[in-house]
Amino acid sequence: MVTCMHTPTGLRVLVEELPHTHSVSLGCYVNVGARYEPVELSGVSHFIEHMVFKGTRSFPIARSISEAVEGVGGLLNASTSYESTVYYAKVAHIHFDRALGVLSELLRCPLFDRRELEKERKVIIEELRGTQDAPSDWVHELLAADLWGNQPLGRDIAGSIESVSAIGHEELTRFFTRHYGIANTVISVAGNVDAERVLEQVSRTFADYAQAPLSVALPSDPARPGPQVRLVARDTEQGNFCLGLPGLAYTDPDRRALQVLDTVLGGGMTSRLFQVLREDNGLAYNVGSYHSEYADTGMWVIYGSVEADMLRDSLAMTFDILRAVASDGVTEEELALVKEQVKGGMLLSLEDTWSVAARNGAHLLRYDAVVPVEQVVAEVEAVSVADVARVAQRLIRSEQLHVAVVGDYDAQDEADIRTLVEAGL
């Protein structure tokens, strides 16, 4: 059971005691990400995530930070998303104090050395360039840009080469000061620990953590109308495609039905996409789907990497699958299988201390509460064939469809794909 507590300064702390484990995982969730950035500061949250690892008050160089955790066999990392940034560590439970001390330094007292900033700027720019060298990754960025347009959800979380090149030391430190503070942070811990002792340690370690006003994400504009096609010609061995549709917010009452629908269509080797494109026709090694949920909207994506000359056929088969599920829904057999798949995957993930800490921290930021696993399981169990049919008809609509393609194609190929897409779902 997860325990939610507050330090004397008001910092929220979550602890789930798992005494049967030998590890402990800690996550510092900060309520800021790419959706909080004006266009001129696009990528600044990700830039900060990189920079805090370049030196802090007690760990003045990057190597000393990594050695403090990796030197005892632990894991230390971070990630930035559209709506949050998380810094996390996983260590043997006897090293909890050490890991907490390192994470607190990252949030409380990074140095933001100007020379390190310029070096890291180059690293991030190379990271951005590297995305375009990986077509199967780049096609997802192209789809988001086409679907959402010039707003945060349509931009790379890491920003652009232009925006990262222009972010100065003052802008970066001002953004950090504005968003990194008690009201915007959740500390989530799971593993072989005692909750009361964790609270004492966090209270002491974060005693001087800054006060900052609660951050509010920039509102999203509606997705751009479809159908639309975005094709980028590249000399590649495969054709890489993404189909995108506006999805659901993480508070939408249909989100569990979409979770089931998404799993039926692209959630593993039993999914319709995998069976038709790979098993029946041998067109794709990599094919699937996913749904990204945000505070006020979402994005549903189907993707694949296929034989270059079979792209059109692969898209046509994918459209047929979407039309079928929009008109006929799913079967009772599929529904029963997927419910067990979703529940089993969820429960298996709780075997890992970081998965538990991550789930708890993300839930508290999103819902201001940790939703019990039993409640989620009950919600999935309650999904009916009619629920899945309703959400399929709600989302699978030609006027919302966007398609992105990266591959060795010319103008005629693009025209053929456009004709196929404009024929509709």
Q: Over the stretch 204-236, which tens digit does the pLDDT of each residue have?
A: 999 999 998 999 999 899 999 999 999 999 999
Report residue 277's pLDDT band, with 50, 70 and 90 as the boundaries.
Answer: very high
In the beta sheet, which residues pair with residue 233?
Answer: 407
Q: Is the pLDDT of residue 343 over 90?
A: no
Whether 343 is in a domain gets the answer: yes
Q: Residue 173 sits in which domain range?
A: 2-205
pLDDT at residue number 36: 97
199 shares its domain with 63 = yes
309 shares its domain with 403 = yes
Residues belonging to the active site: 49
pLDDT at residue number 1: 86
Whether 218 is in a domain gets the answer: no
252 shares its domain with 197 = no
Domain count, the chain: 2
Whether 214 is in a domain gets the answer: no
336 shares its domain with 382 = yes
Q: Where residue 110 sits, what CATH number does that domain have?
A: 3.30.830.10
pLDDT at residue number 109: 97
Q: Is the pLDDT of residue 163 over 90?
A: yes
Whether 217 is in a domain gets the answer: no
Spatial neighbors of 71 by CB under 8 A, at least 6 apart, are: none
Whether 211 is in a domain gets the answer: no
143 shares its domain with 259 = no
| For residues 234-242, average pLDDT | 94
162 shares its domain with 261 = no
Q: How far is CA 292 from the centre of its chain?
A: 7
| For residues 366-386, average pLDDT | 94
Whether 417 is in a domain gets the answer: yes
pLDDT at residue number 132: 87
Strand segments (E) across 223-353: 228-233, 238-246, 284-293, 298-307
pLDDT at residue number 207: 97
Q: Is the pLDDT of residue 54 over 90?
A: yes
pLDDT at residue number 230: 96
Answer yes or no: are the C-beta atoms of 245 and 403 closer than 8 Å: no
Secondary structure (3-state) at 29: strand
Answer yes or no: are the C-beta atoms of 56 and 106 closer than 8 Å: yes
Whether 332 is in a domain gets the answer: yes
pLDDT at residue number 20: 94
| For residues 15-43, average pLDDT | 97
pLDDT tens per residue across span 119-133: 999 999 999 999 988
pLDDT tens per residue across span 290-322: 999 999 999 999 999 999 999 999 999 999 999
The average confidence (pLDDT) of the chain is 95
pLDDT at residue number 52: 98
Whether 216 is in a domain gets the answer: no
| For residues 27-36, average pLDDT | 98
Q: Which of 147, 171, 205 is the last residue of a domain?
A: 205
